[in-house]
Structure 1
């Protein structure tokens, strides 16, 4: 699986990591659009596996069954008018992978070493020709350790919960206080998982978006990318 690009020698790969609700996907999409790069939402891939496993009644903690199930799935990411579309075995699951049930179980699925190995291989294949903006939890530290620009995007737990509540609180059927607790717990699980935990790569640039707008964050990353591209020449 690959993407044809022209002028690969004039492109770099950009890795954007960070905790849940930091705005990684929105920022990464914006940056990719401004640079004419390809956006790859790795979190959507784990969410698609989670959704499929839940539908099949597979316990996310049953790593053997989970890995066997994941190996038979076809996950496709495609551009859409309102953002990236996610297809699971040909079915558009873009909205369903953002459900509360998937939110509550995706960290368990993402902790599976075999599932991560399977999806990381696909992600690395997509990025081999450069010109990719990829976001997730371990992109700079594991998936694309050679990325020319690595950004660790964060914000306070309170701010992240507020953003997600405004975005989809009523649809999730949860209070702001409960959402804040769930995000804090998601942080804990992501940071403490055994394989590829959430962490800041040594050469990543820390960017706190608590008091920044999406456009301000995207503009900062675009500026950094142009500096890195100039350095790479």
Structure 2
């Protein structure tokens, strides 16, 4: 009986500790979410690392995205993706091609407009390590997808405790792929052109681009 009580107590303490860790992590993420939503627009310049030792993949590049509500302009790998709130326009200068399509209906799809808010739903949370990065305190929260069918094993989200801005995202796939996004620059409430999120089809037609509608 004594052993049973000890085991039960240990299980109860572990459960309570996990619950406290989850509540603490969720509280921090709620702060981050509220901060993101308080801005009229956000500009993020980032570094992107993709690694899979087994597949021999080791890629590093950079990109930037400007966000305003659901609208965005995303520059990556020499291409630009624009979402005006209705359609997604993918512009590839190398091929002189523009693809126009509807935004994905997949709730789990990681679109640029979800880059700073994806953690709000669909995950279990746990408080993780604290790192000092050039004098900045970066607190990590471990996100485990609730959906067991997803290809994502886990995500580590690094939060700058001084600004409550996202500093780093480390995503580990079930296939061993590790994707790391590190924020180089985070600017808010910039003076944006009123036509920034407007696609000018005539301009690209005049320049000889092929327009493909899906």
TM-score band w.r.t. shorter chain: under 0.3
- Higher relative contact order, structure no. (Cα contacts within 8 Å, ≥ 6 residues apart): 1
TM-score by length of 2: 0.26
TM-score by length of 1: 0.25
- Identify, as 1 or 2, the structure richer in strand: 2
**Greater Rg over alpha carbons, structure:** 2
